[in-house]
Structure 1
Amino acid sequence: MATLLDYCALVRSKNAGPFTLTFDFMAKDERTFTALCATGALSPGLFASLFHVAETEVVVTPVPAALAIKVSLPRPVVQGARGDSDTYAGQQYGPLMAMTLPELDR
């Protein structure tokens, strides 16, 4: 099995304002971008279950020109509010790094 880092040159999370969390998955090349999209692994259901939001609130946007997939969803806790353990949201991608994906064709 493969990991996100087998497909992506960069995986990151960050704030998109105080109410929105965003993820960027930047593929290594066109082949891995196409393969990552085809897995369907970065689905609204995955992010809904990990971050306890409704699946309908998760937006997954492939950006072919950038060889990237962008995912946006409401922050589980508003930035800076009591209980916010990651004010810049830079560590929210962590649980995704253990995810397994189909092996890439070499």
Structure 2
Amino acid sequence: MTELGHIAQKVRSKNAGPFWLTMDIFCWNRADFDRISAALGTDQVAALFRIDSTNIKRFDIADLNVVKFSLPRPTIQGTRSDRDMHGAAWAVLLEEMEIA
């Protein structure tokens, strides 16, 4: 098993409005995209972030070699309990996820 961050060109996360986060996995080429797309299940991502998989939106964009996940923020952006205003720290968890 290999960490996702060692296969992907870049993994990033950011806000998708005040209520959603989006995570993009950029792949070097089509072979890496196919490998990541097949090995990384929506259920695995849901378990990692401790949310129900029905709340995750997944987009496999083969023309761009990108796998994208969008999920609800645990807190509304900018509220007192928001510890990551830009949503950038979430990518690290995804980068360290082990995949086949």
Aligned counterparts of 2:87 and 2:42: Cα–Cα separation in 1: 18
Bigger-Rg structure (1/2): 1
- Cα deviation, 1:42-65, whole Å, max 9, x if unaligned, reads x33233223333211101110001
3-state DSSP of counterpart to 1:45:
helix
**Structure 1 letter corresponding to 2:34:** T
Question: TM-score when scaled to structure 1?
Answer: 0.85
Give the TM-score of the pair, scaled to structure 2.
Answer: 0.90
Contact 1:51 1:76 in 2 (8 A): no
Instruction: Tell me how far 1:26 sits from its aligned partner.
Output: 0.6
Measure the CA separation in 1 of the matches of 2:46 and 2:15.
17
CA contact 2:5–2:96 (8 Å) conserved in 1: no
* 2:27 counterpart of 1:31: no
Structure 1: runs of 5+ lacking an equivalent: none
Question: Residue by residue, what CA displacement relative to the aligned partner does 1:26-85 show, whole Å, maximum 9, x if unpaired?
Answer: 11111111111121x2x3323322333321110111000110001001101110112111
Q: Percent identity?
A: 33
Give the aligned length: 100
Which residues of structure 2 form unaligned runs of 5+?
Answer: none
